Amino acid sequence: MSKLLVTDTTLRDGSHAVSHSFSPEFVGEIVSKLVAANVPIIEVSHGAGLSGSTIQQGFSTHDEWKLIESAVANKKDSKIASLFVPGIGTRPEIITAANIGIDVLRIAVHCTEADVTQQYFEQAKKSGLETVGFLMMSHTQPASVLAEQAKLMESYGADCVYIVDSAGALVPEGVRERVAKLKESLSINVGFHAHNNLGLAIGNTIAALEAGANQVDGTLRGLGAGAGNAPTEVLVAVLNKMKIETGINLTILMDTAEEIIAPVFQYPLVIDRDNLAAGYAGVYNSFLLHVREAAAKFNINPVSIIEELGRRHAVAGQEDWILDVAIELAQKQLVR
């Protein structure tokens, strides 16, 4: 296999797990370590993307632009990527991020809504950025639908389109089928982004590679929403064992994960009842902290909220449903 592109998204997806509290100094330190390890792409932004610091998504402790400035100042030969979610971010944010010096924009939408991304791909290209399409909650649609959505993104200017397992709900067979269909349908790169709710983040990533994926994601120590992501250091170790070339220094990753990332964990990142329920029900991982807060407030089991959100097929942007569901369940308890 030709050299694989690995994106480390600790400083974006990992932001969810620390209540968006990364400081510019911390970002600069981690970027410097990842650069020293030869990680080619490093994603930095609020967990919900550019302009994600809101009451609905969770406020950042530090100004987002300062975080990106710190990343760019330390990037050297690596590329800095940022996530962009239409409706949370707008075109001026793309221009600002490009002017600061990011290299890659990753445009994320629910996997049936690629048609809303055209103006953002066009703006990113106009701003001189590489572009990636993120088809979130990809477990909810068959491979044929995802391929049609990916082809739209390709037509708008995407350089790569990702299958994104936002809920950690996919199993290897489903990953292979979806990635293989995109590879068959597109002339651009195909990527895969895993979550670990079913304990399959590494296994699913390997399945994606077996189906032809060119780009994959990880986070140091698995730090990320829900049960976390594929740990970058574990992923690189496995790839080394498989003789898949990345050019990444495993020792630096292991040391950084152990000595710098592990101490910032706010809670153990394990596949507990809530995370497993979210993966099994197919509920968006960034909902989980909000679910736990609502469950505590109304004295109800968080799994019951997760199961109801799964029945309603909740997607990113529908975080307001969490409180609605919690109130409804609490009222039913009172009636009993």
**pLDDT tens, position by position, 63-113:** 999 999 999 999 999 999 999 999 999 999 999 999 999 999 999 999 999
Same domain, 153 and 201: yes
State how beta strands 41-43 and 189-193 pair. Answer: unpaired
Same domain, 159 and 302: no
With a cut of 80, say whether residue 1 has pLDDT above it.
Answer: no
Name the binding residues for Mn(2+): 13, 193, 195
Name the binding residues for substrate: 12-13, 166, 193, 284
Q: 263, 287, 305: which is the final residue of a domain?
A: 263
Using one digit for the tens of pLDDT, what is the confidence trace for 24-77?
A: 999 999 999 999 999 999 999 999 999 988 777 778 999 999 999 999 999 999
Q: Report the pLDDT value the prediction gives residue 288, as an integer from 0 to 100.
A: 82
Same domain, 249 and 320: no
CATH number, residue 97: 3.20.20.70
Please name the residue that has the structure tokens 């250091």.
233
> In DSSP terms, which residues pair with 6 in a beta bridge?
216
Active site residue 110: no
Q: How many CA within 13 A on the CB side of residue 145?
A: 12
What CA–CA distance (Å, rounded) separates 319 from 324? 9
With a cut of 90, say whether residue 242 has pLDDT above it.
Answer: yes
Closest CA to 318 of 274, 289, 287, 288: 287
Same domain, 92 and 189: yes
Same domain, 249 and 308: no
Reported confidence tier of residue 318, pLDDT bands at 50, 70, 90? confident
CB 316 within 8 A of CB 89: no
CATH number, residue 316: 1.10.8.60
Task: Give the E-state strand segments of the chain in sequence order.
Answer: 5-8, 41-43, 79-84, 104-110, 130-136, 160-164, 189-193, 215-218
Q: Report the pLDDT value the prediction gives residue 256, as an integer from 0 to 100.
A: 98
Q: What is the mean pLDDT of residues 224-239?
A: 96
Same domain, 97 and 169: yes
**Could you tell me which residue, 308 or 233, shows the higher pLDDT?**
233
Q: 263, 295, 318: which is the final residue of a domain?
A: 263
In a domain, 209, yes or no: yes
Q: Report the pLDDT value the prediction gives residue 65, as an integer from 0 to 100.
A: 97
In a domain, 236, yes or no: yes
In a domain, 268, yes or no: no
In a domain, 137, yes or no: yes
In a domain, 328, yes or no: yes
Same domain, 214 and 302: no
Closest CA to 321 of 305, 298, 335, 333: 305
Same domain, 41 and 173: yes
pTM over 0.95: no
In a domain, 113, yes or no: yes
Same domain, 248 and 283: no
Reported confidence tier of residue 2, pLDDT bands at 50, 70, 90? low
Retrieve residue 91's tokens: 């075109």
CB count, 10 Å around CB of 57?
22
Q: What is the mean pLDDT of residues 248-256?
A: 98
In a domain, 222, yes or no: yes
Q: Report the pLDDT value the prediction gives residue 336, as an integer from 0 to 100.
A: 62
**Could you tell me which residue, 336 or 205, shows the higher pLDDT?**
205
Name the binding residues: 12-13, 166, 193, 195, 284
Same domain, 161 and 87: yes
In a domain, 77, yes or no: yes
Looking at every residue in the chain, the average pLDDT score rounds to 94
Q: How many independent structural domains does the chain possess? A: 2
Please name the residue that has the structure tokens 């530090």.
62
Active-site residue identified among 16, 20, 110, 290: 16
Instruction: Look at residue 275 and give its three-state secondary structure.
Output: helix
CB 4 within 8 A of CB 218: no
Q: 221, 241, 263: which is the final residue of a domain?
A: 263
Expressed as residue numbers, the domain containing 124 is 5-263
Same domain, 30 and 128: yes
Same domain, 228 and 327: no
